[in-house]
């Protein structure tokens, strides 16, 4: 067990799988009391059990963040109850990724993407910011995407939604700094949870071919970055988007 987040409480949305799961486990290992949240109670229970087996503290709160203020309020209230009335760190990770291009994205799909990826974290942050202020401050970490700075022909509305969340990161940093709240974002590269039963090449690997890292990243790598941004080690870091992408956006990709 580490101590980098000792005594802190954290709510991590969409933390029953992949990146969110990696962040939740990393937080538990560094001493935070974690609320794991998501739609799937069975997977949530597995993450909680893993954190507890590692010696950490965790609870599961079911949440269906559909973008409504009511859904965000319900999650905020439940998390505050589970964490003893205080949320020190909010990680806005929950999101959806329809791979549609512009011509095959209908209005319903577009609205759902922005509801889950932008409206839900907007209203959840709005609900928790006053509580963070009352407790003496806190940290908000948003999950963006490398696709925001690399033009792609698919997932167009998703990319736009992540661009909006990165813009909110900078605006919230300016808005909430006086309240003692630091706001930053992580922009992951292509991240996959290893599947022991999977054989053969994964198409996602091609998107990281030619990068300095050379292959897809792991949820654990994003978890470690989130630990840094949630800890006091990053007290001088405000309004930034931290690229944790194996060099995908910073270095010319030459696929061989």
The answer to whether 228 is a known catalytic residue is: no
Helix H or strand E encompassing 29: helix 18-29
Neighbouring CB atoms inside 10 A of 68's CB total 14
Q: Which residue has the tokens 């209005």?
A: 107
d(CA 148, CA 63): 27
d(CA 12, CA 14): 7
Terminal-residue alpha carbon distance, the chain:
41
The one catalytic residue in 27, 158, 213, 228 is 158
Q: Under 8 Å CB-to-CB from 136, ≥6 apart: which residues?
A: 180
| CA atoms within 13 A of residue 95's CA, in its CB half-sphere | 28
Adjacent-strand bridge partners of 10: 34, 89
Active site residues: 158
């Amino acid at each position: 067990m580490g101590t980098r987040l000792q005594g802190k409480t954290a709510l991590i949305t969409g933390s029953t799988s992949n990146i969110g799961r990696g962040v939740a486990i990393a937080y538990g290992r560094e001493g935070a009391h974690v609320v794991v949240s998501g739609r799937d109670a069975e997977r949530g229970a597995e993450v909680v059990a893993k954190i507890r087996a590692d010696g950490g503290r965790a609870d599961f709160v079911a949440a269906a963040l559909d973008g409504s203020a009511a859904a965000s309020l319900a999650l905020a209230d439940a998390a505050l109850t589970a964490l003893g009335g205080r949320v020190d760190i909010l990680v806005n990770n929950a999101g959806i990724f329809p791979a549609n291009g512009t011509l095959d994205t209908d209005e319903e799909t577009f609205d759902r993407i922005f509801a889950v990826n932008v409206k839900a974290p907007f209203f959840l942050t709005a609900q928790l910011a006053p509580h963070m202020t009352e407790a003496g401050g806190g940290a908000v970490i948003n999950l963006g995407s490398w696709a925001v700075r690399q033009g792609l022909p698919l997932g167009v509305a998703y990319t736009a939604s992540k661009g909006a969340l990165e813009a909110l990161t900078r605006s919230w940093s300016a808005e909430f700094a006086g309240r003692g709240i630091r706001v930053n974002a992580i922009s992951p590269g292509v991240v996959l949870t290893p599947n022991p039963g999977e054989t053969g090449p994964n198409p996602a690997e091609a998107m990281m071919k030619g990068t300095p890292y050379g292959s897809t990243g792991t949820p654990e790598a994003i978890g470690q970055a989130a630990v840094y941004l949630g800890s006091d080690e990053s007290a001088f870091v405000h309004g930034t988007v931290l690229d944790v992408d194996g060099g995908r956006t910073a270095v010319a990709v030459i696929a061989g």
